[in-house]
Amino acid sequence: MSPHRSNSGRRRIAGPFHLLLLAVLLALAALATAAGPAPPPWAVDPEDPGEDLPPAGRSLFDFLVTVQHGGERVYDVPFPFAALVSRVEQELGGKADPQPFERVLIPLGRSLQRNAAAPHFFRAPRAVLAVTGDASRQGVPLLKDRLYMGYQETAAILEVISYNETAGRFEFQVVRDYRPGGQPRVLYASRALCTACHQNAAPIFARQVWDETNANPKIAGLLRDEKRDFYGFPIDLGPDAPYAVQAAADRANRFALDQRLWREGCAAAREQAPRCRAALFTAALQYRLGSRFDENRLTPFAPRIKERFPRGLAVPDPDLPNRDPFAGDVSGPRQASVPGSLTPEQTTLLGGVVLHSSIPAVFEPLNPRPPLETWSLDGGFERLVSGLAAFLAESDVRDLDARLFAAGSAPAAPRRRLAADCHLVARRGASGETDRLKLDCQGDFTLQGRIYLAGGRVTGGEIEKVTIGGATELADLAVQAGEPAAGGIHLALLQKGSALRARRPNGDAVEGLDLTWRDSGGAAQNGRAELTFLSDFAAVDRAIETLVRSTAAGESDAFADRPFRRSALVPALLAQLGAAPATPPREAGMPQAMLDVLGGGAGPEAAEAERLAARFQEPALRTFFRYCATCHATGQSSPPNFLHGEPAEVRGQLAQCAERIYFRLGMWQLPREDRPKTAMPPVHALRRLHLEPVEWPENPDLLLLRQHAADLLRTQTGAAPRLEELKARGYENLRGCLPVR
């Protein structure tokens, strides 16, 4: 073959065409460089809401509201709402201080049920509960940050977001017919509809100062004037409760990132994937036992994880802008109906709220939100390890701590001792006895702290830090009260707050600090300290190694390509440490998971939307179904369901809604900062159809939708609509859409 021919037999030609092609490629490369690096992918893909029904497992709410009946489990949702709150409280161990959940009232909010109570917003506010604390006993599902409920009395609807540990995701559910004499039906909601606002597929909440809640004194006052009990919720509320709800939503927002890194990050290690997950689990245990961990165990897996996520992962923002409903836009409606029982002053105030209750675009949950943060392994493993550690319950950690210490402190168990010389400064009380010793020790370790005494008995104290080999390994420890030992004092060291045993980063516990000194009667004295460490965490290493081998042999799925599941990992670990086998919650025997289908709340799937659209000859109506059916072909009136019903009904509803549809479609013609309302279809809906928002304003489909709405208005008024005139009237003054009959 001639050296001038390629394998295909074609002659290679160097000429003007190739030079031109090279120039084009170089220009494209320059443009790409000028545009900057591509943004990191989302930890949760807003274009992929996932299956509506659980792909595996069930929600925690399902376990909470099902009971055994006739050999099978059935739904039994307590009513009234206060009874359901009581069941949550009982599940968490009964009344406790601090309270394990927080409750807020939101009469003028941004949920789908925002207008359900109109005009009696303050007579039936939306009640929101979030579990923010851990259970006080073992054998209880971990509900902290994993269960959120919103109740709207007028709509007889309970909306629920609760975690599904088996699937590693939050589930969106509704309880319909939740009213006196009703038959509550627990249904799974359309994820596409829910994730339009819950763009992280998890809870969302407002930022401080939470003016929509009853932390706002004006709202609390109007609620108080209704003179009724709101499901046992406190009316007068400080900022602590809404802050706790927001903090819980923020923590819940991390779950999807942690689960993705657990699965996909370790999957990049290929055949070493189980060992990668085992190392992460070990680090999470060390972190929960002592707030530190041995990062050297994870270092071998770092290159593969970085290779899998070279640009990191963008974490969605669960926080909405704070909105004060009393500071509304002046373009609201000119009439409002308010309760006649109010005083003239209250009527004026509430009337103003209702008139100005339009939600400007800047406050809309539908708006795409920039990332809260970008995760990268460049900052080390602490972000990932602390996130996985949050999947463990307090009872898990306390049980593990007690078991390890009990076994590790047996007389024949191995120990390591370090010694140091100490300079002690004594403070004497009125009786002349030493009541405080300030410690400064140097030797195999350095230590600074103080202990308090009364009658020669240790009453408490604190150790500021302990440094070993130049690294601070222990800090902020509490000294447990105790009696003097022969020749000195034996001190037990606990972690402040948790009261767990003090532990080194590798997990090993401090058995105690033995302190001896000679009381010379002066303030300054010399003494000696000895720290004794147990090798008790080695039992965890052995247990996890057994689980790794059983995973590799297919005998266990503990470290398989599955979500991080506390119910699978913790019992397996504790069983290896001698605990009685635990029985995790089982999905077997649960009632069938039912979808909130078309006609009951959810929008149609793509295939169903296409079938519904085929009933129409008009191209514009078919196009409406393509872009709008997910949210507007539902069986509920919010969002406006103008695509729900028979063809004649749909045509009539489109005509009724034409002003508002034309207005929302027209927002695409305005710069983002000039839009008084969110543009429709929203950005997330376009991206799910693989359309770029920057190109959408000139898309023929958008022009077709706008033209159809304009033609409807021209038929009704005899004149072509003008967006400027509609803006001047104000969106809330435009003709409203009819709810489904």
Helix/strand/coil (H/E/C) assignment for every residue in 556-586: CCCCCCCCCCHHHHHHHHHHHCCCCCCCCCC
Both 499 and 354 in a single domain?
Answer: no
Same domain, 24 and 156: no
Based on the fold, state whether residues 93 and 16 are members of the same structural domain.
no
Task: Give helix then strand counts, H and E, for the chain.
Answer: 22, 22
pLDDT at 730: 85
Cα separation of 260 and 133, whole Å?
Answer: 25
Rounded Cα distance, 383 and 252, in Å: 14
What pLDDT is recorded for position 349? 47
Q: Alpha-carbon distance 487 to 490, whole Å?
A: 10
Q: 599 lies in a domain?
A: no
Res 10: pLDDT: 35
pTM higher than 0.85, yes or no?
A: no
Long-range contacts of 567-576 (CB under 8 A, 24+ apart): 567/141, 567/165, 569/281, 570/392, 570/393, 570/396, 572/547, 573/285, 573/400, 573/540, 573/543, 573/544, 573/547, 574/399, 574/400, 574/403, 576/542, 576/543, 576/546, 576/547
Look up residue 264 and give its DSSP letter.
Answer: I
503 occurs within a structural domain = yes
C-alpha to C-alpha distances, 444 to 420, 501, 507, nearest whole angstrom: 6, 21, 19
> Do residues 205 and 84 both lie within one domain?
yes
Same domain, 515 and 426: yes
Residue 479 belongs to some domain of the structure:
yes
- Report how far residue 564's alpha carbon sits from residue 168's, in angstroms, rounded to the nearest whole number: 7
Q: Dump the DSSP string for 621-668.
A: HHHHHHHHHHHHSSSSSSS--TT-SSHHHHHHHHHHTHHHHHHHHHGG
Distance CA 65, CA 78 (A): 8
Q: Looking at 92-171, list the stretches that DSSP marks H as alpha helix, in order from N- to C-terminal side.
A: none
Element (H, E) at 691: none
Using the 8-state DSSP alphabet, how is residue 263 labeled? Answer: I
Profile the chain (741 residues) by mean pLDDT over runs of 10 residues: 37 40 43 63 87 95 92 93 95 80 95 85 96 79 96 95 97 96 94 87 95 96 95 95 97 96 96 97 96 93 96 93 77 39 49 54 85 91 96 94 96 96 88 86 97 88 96 94 73 93 95 85 84 97 97 94 95 92 74 74 68 91 90 79 91 93 93 87 81 91 94 93 90 75 40
pLDDT at residue 53 in the model: 95
User: Do 525 and 422 share a structural domain?
Assistant: yes
In this structure, are 617 and 693 located in the same domain?
A: yes
User: Each residue of 199-222: b (16+ CB within 10 Å) or e?
Assistant: bbbbbbbbeeebbbbbbbeebbeb
Place of tokens 């009786």: 431
| Amino acid at site 594 | M
30 lies in the same domain as 67: no
In the prediction, which pLDDT does 581 show?
Answer: 73
Q: Tokens at residue 604, please?
A: 């149609």
**Residue 156 sits in which domain range?**
60-254+318-365
Q: What's residue 610's pLDDT?
A: 86
Take residue 731 and report the two structure tokens written for it.
């969106």
Query: What does the alpha-carbon distance between residue 243 and residue 344 come to, in Å, rounded to a whole number?
Result: 34
In a domain, 588, yes or no: no
**Is 423 part of a structural domain of the chain?**
yes
Q: How far apart are CA 559 and CA 82, in angstroms?
A: 41
Residue 120 lies in a domain: yes
Which residue do the tokens 């800090």 mark?
475
275 located within any domain: no
Q: Counting every residue, how long is the chain? A: 741
Whether 44 and 131 have beta carbons less than 8 Å apart is answered as no
Q: Match 């948790």 to its residue by tokens.
A: 498
Please check whether residue 134 is in contact with residue 379, taking contact to mean a CB–CB distance below 8 angstroms: no
Q: Is residue 560 part of a domain?
A: no
Residue 349 and residue 465 in one domain: no
Name the phi and psi angles at 72, rounded to 5. -145, 165
Q: Which residues contact 246 (CB under 8 A, 6 or more apart)?
A: 205, 206, 207, 208, 210, 319
Q: Is 138 found in the same domain as 89?
A: yes
Q: Are residues 431 and 485 in the same domain?
A: yes
Between the two ends of the chain, the Cα-to-Cα distance in Å is 79
**Number of domains the chain contains:** 4
Exposure pattern of 11-37 as b/e (b: 16+ CB <10 Å)? eeeeeeeeeeeeeeeeeeeeeeeeeee
Instruction: Check whether residue 112 and residue 17 sit in a common domain.
Output: no
